[in-house]
Structure 1
Amino acid sequence: MSNLELYELDGCPFCAKVVDKLDELGLEYDSHMVPSPKSEREEVAEVSGQRGVPVLIDEDHDVDGMAESDDIVAYLEETYGGDASGGASASA
């Protein structure tokens, strides 16, 4: 079991991108929904040094507050993707 935590905001497309990758890789994680006003995101600022979301914490790999959805997605693919040739079953 992974020690992944994601700080996210409901309706945030960057957060949704990370959630989609977590789901695609079948990873379990704890979700922390944050308030919409950035001024109220003290917990996010404490773990990442900034107030934007998404922010990922991965205790298993000493990741203490990775920000930027593209960086998070790349990290998840590299760390948990295994065979990059896995079945891509996207329907649109």
Structure 2
Amino acid sequence: MITLYQLEGCPYCEAVDEKLTSLNLEYETVWVDGLHSKRDEVKRRSGQRQVPLLVDDEYGVTMAESENIRSYLERTYA
């Protein structure tokens, strides 16, 4: 299961979303609050509050930074 934590209107989140879609990957979206202080689930999963955050349970990967996520998805699923 792939989970993408993202924020509405975030261009970095949208770039990851587009990569997931272009690779025809099924994933769950978790929409987060705009306030960093309210992103407790993101912090619990990754130790920080930044989005986008990708969690790939199949490979045990949790990562932030849209460029890193897109590169990972390309290497792993393309």
Name the counterpart of 1:87: none
- Report what 1:20 is aligned to: 18
TM-score for both structures, normalised by structure 2: 0.98
RMSD across aligned positions (CA) = 0.4
**Unaligned segments of structure 2, at least 5 residues:** none
SS at the partner of 1:10?
Answer: coil
Alignment partner for residue 68 of structure 2, among 62, 71, 75?
Answer: 71
Who wins on radius of gyration, i.e. which is larger? 1
- Per-residue CA deviation, residues 12-45 of structure 1 (Å, 9 max, x unaligned), is 0000000000000000000000000000000000
SS of alignment partner, residue 61 of structure 1 = coil
Q: Which residue of 2 aligns with 1:42?
A: 40
Identical columns (%): 49
Q: Which amino acid aligns with 1:73?
A: R
How far 1:67 sits from its partner (Å)? 0.4
Count of paired positions:
78
Between the aligned partners of 1:48 and 1:69, the Cα distance in structure 2 is 14
Q: Which stretches of structure 1, 4 residues or more, deviate above 6 A after TM superposition?
A: none
Tell me what 1:80 maps to.
77
